[in-house]
Structure 1
Amino acid sequence: MISRYKLPLYIAGAAAARTGDEMSGPALLLVGIAVTDSASAGSALLSGIMISAAVGGPVFGAMLDRAAVPGRLLTGALAAYSAVLVVILLILGRLPLPVVIATAVFGGLLGPALAGGWTSQLPRLVESDRLPRANALDAMTYNLASLTGPALAGVAAILAGATAGVVAAVALIVLALPVAWTLPKNPAASRQGSQTSVTADLISGFNAIVRARFLARATVTSVISYIGVGMLVTSSPLLGEEAMGTTNSGTFLLAALAAASLAANALLAQRPNALRPDETVLGSTLVLAVALLLAATVSPVPLFLAMVLAGAGAGPQLTALFAVRHREAPERLRGQIFTTGASLKITGYAVGAGIGGPIATWSLSGALVVAAGFEILAAMSFVALTTAGRGRGSRLPQVTAPPKEEGAAVSLGKRVDQPLDKRGDDLGSL
């Protein structure tokens, strides 16, 4: 634990990087529509920069766990992601769209660095008794980014054109580079790197996610839920045009959603130990389903209320998901579990963004009803995995760190260095 490293500095850096990330998505969507005059092309560009996260997240996480100075690796990833955004601006409209989308796909490999790459380092910054509150504050940076990122993209597009939004996103990510550079060292990295290969670490990380019942359940639920969220975000320009008269106004609808998320997590930060993570994952998903059905009315007042309700669900869902990951992740695999979880969520979001554009073009209300269906499916998956876990009597091999590393694990609720079969965290052949 590095006591000299101040949590406020971490929060500032994470907030800047995540705001740039949240701004880059809507900004790319808007610039794609502006340059190509096609909503489908804009959603394809947004989907492209997100869908490859499923590959990049696990690999980056494994490398982060093995890095003696993980901040240096994170800094390089942030710089490379910024460079890709600049390249997209330079070639969009000048080269064929498939080439631009391929560039976005390459950049998407680094996307999880802006999310899980930061959060996985949090237990090295604070003592275990301060982790719940730090976790809530960390989740608030996502909400703050979701609040200011889309709004800034919309303002930049209105005042200076869609390109300005991407430029501002790059600037924010660059501001986070000095903070990422000074993240604490990982004392166990040299020992871990000498004992296992990257491939072995990747297999161990996936096994840890799949075999830990609570972690698997929260991961599956959040990924499916984010398909619906991706569809909502892709539909937001058309919702803005329908409700407020311009496609750029859709970013302000997303800002209303993020403001409600931020408010909900601010309350959780005041009473962090009151959160029941597993139940919150389910409850928040159901709230999102109701919000999307309300948004399907495509009427201004119900639409605004739907965005507020969606934020009240999305904010606590994220905080609860972080709490489950911190509680269940073995120390030596923490980075990989966080970045893999982030990459899977980003991929779910990308799938929603990819199918949301064409469906919204055909029927805006229909797209939101389909999105609500994914939220219901996510809730059903949570219940199904809960039932499956209770109904299986098989025991699984322990998926924890070696004995000499277990003492370094930090937990939320249950100790992560306790064997999985003693916690009941098994799903058989899930």
Structure 2
Amino acid sequence: MTGAVAARTGDEMSGPALLVAGLAVTGSPLTASWLLAGLTVSAAAGGPLLGVLLDRARRPGRLLACCLLGYAGGLLLVLYGLGRVPDAALIGVAVVAGLLGPALTGGWTAQLPRVAGPERLSRATALDSMSYNVAGLAGPAVVGLVASAGGGGATVLVCAGLLVAALPAAWSLPPVRSRPAAPAAVPADPGSPAAADAHPAAHGSPAEGGAAGRGRAVRAELVEGFAVIWRNAPLRRATAGSAISCCGLAMLVVSAPVLGAELTGESGHGALLLAVTAASGLAANAAIAAWGRVRRWDRVLAWGTAVLGAGMALAAGAGAFGAGAFGAGAFWAAVVAAAVAGAGEGPQLTALFSVRHREAPARLRSQVFTTGASLKITSFAIGSALAGPLAAYSASSALVAGAALQAAAVVVLMAGRREKGSPTEAPR
């Protein structure tokens, strides 16, 4: 978990650090924003491919370590080139580095069953989700402190240092001992995890020892991984619903500084709202970890998304009534709303990981996680782009749109669920 916290804090720092460094060196907000866009937009392409490579690797931890080193190296190259080489070349470097981004999120989480084991997986997943909350709290805060003390360039150096600090933990992750054995009978549901693992020969498992299986094309495995997500109903709902929700979450992140400025006259209070959201999510996940085993993660995923949407709607209401005599009270109402949003966002993430661990075939788990991560990163980037014009009009408009996206995500997460639970979910 120490390595995960270091890697994810560095990941959370990377975007703001590039923004601060780009603005400090070039003085151009356009260049700074394009560097951030380059770092995030390529995740959609990098995630699925990284997942295939991790699933094929005998020592996936060493591949993760290479990704950490490559990501840190890309950030340092951008820092070194600022003011020395054309902006277009630096944006290209950011795009290449961004291809490795999903390894810091979904790629790391996919290795959890090899470390925790099935009996401790539920609690370990909650702790893993907490590492995202810790990183979400620490990353932007560290950027602010380092930028104030040492300038924009120092933020990138600290970010790279955290990524490098996670290398030993990634390198020491256990190897893949064996591939799943073929069951006696093939399940009827072609989208179930067992069905995808039923015939290793059909998927080119290394366990079969055949040269044809080992030489299976990466493109075929990419198609196979997407097919598993599409055919498996819980995975399909979780992937689509979480992507929609992440688009809405971007509305909260972008509008928080605007809301802080509208209610108090200081945009810095918006950072406080985001910190409250992250802290609330951390507390909620700590409660889940202490509580123990949860059997119906699909329901937690849907309810967490609904609570997140309710928090955003409350924040929109605080912004709408923040003028005049209601100003001071409205800010504290926004703080409460941020806490409600975090109480939903934290368990939502834990539930999403738990559904993926439960439903993903063992030999395709990394691809399922990195593909899901890349879709969420891309969705967040789209939401951020949409939120800008809305927040410029008013923070409440962006928050209402975000709450509406959470409602749409809940509809997707609930659609098609059978009354007595999915085949892989405990009966009610």
User: For the superposition of Structure 1 and Structure 2, which TM-score range results when normalised by the shorter chain?
Assistant: 0.7 to 0.9
SS of equivalent to 2:116: coil
Mark the CA change 1:355 to 1:95 in structure 2 (over 3 Å): closer, same or farther.
farther
Q: Structure 1, residues 246-272: CA drift from partner, whole Å, max 9, x if none? A: 555543332221111110000000123
Matches within 5 A, 1:62-101: 62-92=52-82, 97-101=87-91
SS of equivalent to 1:185: coil
| Corresponding letter in the other structure for 2:245 | S
Q: 1:43 & 1:121 partners in 2: Cα distance? A: 33
Q: Structure 1, residues 302-342: CA drift from partner, whole Å, max 9, x if none? A: 22222211111110000000110011011111111111111
**Range with greater deviation from structure 2 (62-71 or 166-175):** 166-175
1:191 aligned residue: 207
1:258 aligned residue: 278
Instruction: Work out whether 1:212 is the aligned partner of 2:232.
Output: yes
SS of equivalent to 2:293: helix
2:2 aligned residue: 12
Matches within 5 A, 1:29-428: 29-32=19-22, 42-92=32-82, 97-187=87-177, 188=179, 190-191=206-207, 194=214, 196-243=216-263, 247=267, 250-274=270-294, 276-296=296-316, 297-298=318-319, 299-386=330-417
Mark the CA change 1:229 to 1:164 in structure 2 (over 3 Å): closer, same or farther.
farther
Q: 1:242 & 1:31 partners in 2: Cα distance? A: 27
1:419 aligned residue: none
Whether contact under 8 Å (1:150, 1:255) holds in the other structure is no
Whether contact under 8 Å (1:281, 1:321) holds in the other structure is yes
Cα distance, 1:228 vs. partner?
A: 1.3
Mark the CA change 1:51 to 1:265 in structure 2 (over 3 Å): closer, same or farther.
same
Whether contact under 8 Å (2:285, 2:350) holds in the other structure is yes
1:406 aligned residue: none
| Corresponding letter in the other structure for 2:61 | G
Question: What's the % identity of the aligned pairs?
Answer: 49
**Range with greater deviation from structure 2 (66-75 or 292-301):** 292-301
Cα distance, 1:125 vs. partner?
A: 1.3
Whether contact under 8 Å (2:315, 2:399) holds in the other structure is yes
Q: CA RMSD in A?
A: 2.8
Whether contact under 8 Å (1:291, 1:309) holds in the other structure is yes
Q: Structure 1, residues 130-162: CA drift from partner, whole Å, max 9, x if none? A: 111111111111111112112222222333334
SS of equivalent to 1:323: helix
For normalisation by structure 2, the TM-score amounts to: 0.82
Mark the CA change 1:165 to 1:232 in structure 2 (over 3 Å): closer, same or farther.
farther
Whether contact under 8 Å (2:256, 2:395) holds in the other structure is no
2:17 aligned residue: 27
Q: What stretches of structure 1 of length at least 5 have no aligned partner?
A: 1-10, 391-410, 415-422, 424-430
2:183 aligned residue: none
Cα distance, 1:167 vs. partner?
A: 2.3
1:7 aligned residue: none
Cα distance, 1:32 vs. partner?
A: 4.6
Whether contact under 8 Å (1:257, 1:310) holds in the other structure is yes
Q: Which of 1 and 2 has greater Rg?
A: 2
Q: Structure 1, residues 219-242: CA drift from partner, whole Å, max 9, x if none? A: 111000001112322334434544
Q: What stretches of structure 2 of length at least 5 have no aligned partner?
A: 180-204, 320-329
| Corresponding letter in the other structure for 2:353 | F
Whether contact under 8 Å (1:151, 1:252) holds in the other structure is no
| Corresponding letter in the other structure for 2:250 | G
**Range with greater deviation from structure 2 (148-157 or 34-43):** 34-43
| Corresponding letter in the other structure for 1:26 | P
Whether contact under 8 Å (2:313, 2:399) holds in the other structure is yes
Q: 2:176 & 2:342 partners in 1: Cα distance? A: 35
| Corresponding letter in the other structure for 2:106 | G
**Range with greater deviation from structure 2 (208-217 or 160-169):** 160-169
Q: 2:404 & 2:27 partners in 1: Cα distance? A: 30
Q: 2:388 & 2:28 partners in 1: Cα distance? A: 10
SS of equivalent to 1:125: helix
| Corresponding letter in the other structure for 2:356 | R
